[in-house]
Amino acid sequence: MKELLNKFKFRNLIMVIILILLTVTEIATSFTLSNTINAMIAQNIDNFIRAIVITFVIYFIFLLITYIKILYQNKTQESMKIYLRSKIVDRLVHTDYQRYHKHKPSTYSSWLMNDVNQISSESLSPFYELLAGVVSLVISIITLLSLHWILLAYTLIALGLILFIPKLFNKAILNGSIKLTTENEAYLSKITDYLNAYDTLFAYRQLSFMQERLNKQAKKLSDVSYKYQKLMALVAVAGGFGNILGQIGVFAVTGYLVLNEELSVGSIMITTTLAGNVFNTAGNLSQYISKIQSSKPIFEKIDGIKISERSNHTDHFSNTLDNGYALENVDFSYKDDPIINDLTIKFDLAKNYAITGESGSGKSTLLNLLGGRLDNYQGSITLDGKEISGETYDRLYDNILYIDQNPHIFDGTIRENLEMGESYSDKELWIALEKVQLKDLIACNEEGLNYYIGESGRFLSGGQKQRLSIARSLLRKKKILLLDEVTSSLDHDTAVSIENILLSEEETSTIMITHNLYKETADKIDYEIKLN
């Protein structure tokens, strides 16, 4: 929170100035209204009319400043939310592969939506309420002192009592906030899981299962939210008790001073306004502070996304590789479960390799090691003589490309899915599509490369989506392709067609995991590596 406020310190300084003007005009109206009461008592019509007109003008200015304050505060909070979301995304982009996958995508979605919104509503809004209250409190106390020292003395004593009571709730509020943000993450995760399973549940006629589970999770979230709001209501009531005690006391002290002719009757209007400013702020002070502190676990969670040196942007390798991969005495374990033991092997450039073996033999682990996704191995893994665990992702992936079994297809056009933020000529895009036998299909559509393929490529078949992902990889002309069973879910003819495309690329080394070496493509495999 401190970092966020410091980042926007200039805007917050302007906010303080606006709040000072707002408080001054509010207090000014109490003085002009006091003059109207004194004029009525004195039966002075001229002074009465003058005070009413001045009061109207000041109220108009007060409302204008209030309008500016609301707009400026909202704009500032939106800017802060943009900054927070940018910070989260930046950390996700610059963390390492393994740390990123410690959480589900839906969890990060919850951070970007629910957590940022919670920070805004539960911490930023209370912060500005607190800031407004503090400004009002300081100016009001100074004004009370200018009226009479007894008013200030009583106000300070009452303030001490008000500030003490709600401190008892701070720990409970912090724990409640943690439970609420955790439950929000769980609910979003369940929503994503069951909504993605709609087709499966539809086929099995088990949509009621989704309904039951989501309703159950919603009820759980509602219960946690209700308990948190109940706690905040209790804090508000505790603060309200002290507030009432303070304001009635100031009214009584003012009455005493009026009876002793030390203040005018109209002063009651001024002290009532000032007491309201002081004790309303004090009554809500602990609640505001507790709410602001409630977001501390969220900020800690965001800062917990560690930035990896491997994700720093660096100068890339040369596109020319002299040597491929070399593994020497490589060991790798998941926790205490050894997966790869003392593996020594070389992968030469411009050669094709098939990695085979039973399930659990370490095929995917080996490919993840080659792709730099896992770096806590023992032994040595080098590419072109350089240890890959010491290289940044930018330098490593300048020459390799890892293609998953189910590559992501974006909600967008053919062009957007091929380029993914980079720039290629139309000629290059069409050549890549022609290689994967998609050119004719795309060309017959009047929108061509700008053809919208829907969310997750729903307007394409499974084979077409896989071909599109292959075209995306061929477009980048990498020296080494790492393929994680990219054809295992496709029919025989489509699988053979795609493997032929990949294994026929000149000057490209293909290293692929497969459970089934097709006879139609087996002659293009230079070496088979069978893991036990």
| The pair of three-digit structure tokens given for residue 390, joined into one six-digit string | 């010491």
Three-class SS state of 345 = strand
H or E stretch including 252? helix 207-259
DSSP for 498-523, written as a single string: HHHHHHT-TT-EEEEE-S---TTTGG
Determine the pLDDT at residue 165. 65
What is the tens place of the pLDDT at every residue in 260-303?
888 888 888 888 888 877 777 776 776 777 778 778 888 888 88
| The pair of three-digit structure tokens given for residue 149, joined into one six-digit string | 């020292």
Q: How far is CA 247 from the centre of its chain?
A: 42
Determine the pLDDT at residue 64. 95
Which residues, 6+ apart, have CB-to-CB distance to 69 below 8 Å?
Answer: 15, 18, 19, 22
Backbone angles phi, psi at 414, to 5 degrees: -60, -45
What is the tens place of the pLDDT at every residue in 8-40?
889 989 999 999 999 899 888 888 888 888 888
- Cβ proximity of 399 and 319 under 8 Å: yes
Averages of pLDDT over each 10 residues, the chain, 532 residues: 84 92 89 84 85 90 93 91 88 82 83 87 86 85 83 79 70 82 84 76 69 86 89 77 77 83 82 79 71 80 78 59 86 83 88 86 87 86 86 82 82 86 88 85 85 84 83 86 81 82 82 84 86 80
Supply the angle between the helices 125-147 and 45-94 in degrees, to the nearest 10. 150
Three-class SS state of 422 = coil
CA distances from 353 to 28, 82, 350, 401 (A): 83, 46, 10, 15
Edge-to-edge strand ranges of the sheet holding 400-403? 400-403, 480-484, 509-513, 352-357, 527-531
Contacts within 8 Å (CB) and 24+ apart, 334-343:
334/365, 339/365, 340/365, 340/366, 340/369, 340/377, 340/531, 342/379, 343/379
Q: What's the pTM?
A: 0.69
What is the tens place of the pLDDT at every residue in 125-138?
888 888 888 888 88
